[in-house]
Amino acid sequence: MDALEAILTRKSIRRYTSEPVSDELIEKMLEAAMSAPSAANEQPWHFIIIKDRETLEHITRFHPFAKMLLQAQVAILVCGDLRLDRCDGYWVQDCSAASQNILIAANALGLGAVWTGIFPTEDRVVNMKKLLDIPDYVIPLCLIPVGYPVESKAPSNRFNEARVHNERW
């Protein structure tokens, strides 16, 4: 699958088979994540790979939109390290770019994935940090459940010419 096809056919997938996702595929998604651009090339990201069923289930107790974790074979928590954010808050954009690369890579690898927000919802941030022993200077941005998709969704064309402005508004 070429890059444009991977981008244009990516869909949020929330239902997965029980087939495990290999460490090799996880590493490929992380390699894609770490290839994202970042402000001043600071690369303020860290990733926590979660496979433990009990941990995945526990997250659904405090995250109301993460029920797909009950089926996901793995989840990738994308975090920003404030010690590496020397550009005053750009860690959010940097980690968002890394997250998008994970989603696109998952699609290109035949996997399904979905972005579930953690930051800036304080109770989700606090609970995730407590559950996974995340240090104070690291902020969990989002959690990406991943698995082999049960569902198949047709790509949609979201291009909206009304949102494009040339030269000026």
Q: What is the DSSP string of 22-69?
A: PHHHHHHHHHHHTTS--GGG---EEEEEE--HHHHHHHHHH-TT-GGG
pLDDT of residue 39: 97
- Which residue segments constitute the domains of the chain, with CATH numbers given? 3-151 (3.40.109.10)
pLDDT at 154 over 90: no
**Length of the chain, please?**
169
Q: Which amino acid is at 13?
A: I
16-44 pLDDT per residue, tens? 999 999 999 999 999 999 999 999 999 99
CA distance 122 to 15: 27
pLDDT at 151 over 90: no
pLDDT of residue 52: 98
pLDDT of residue 15: 97
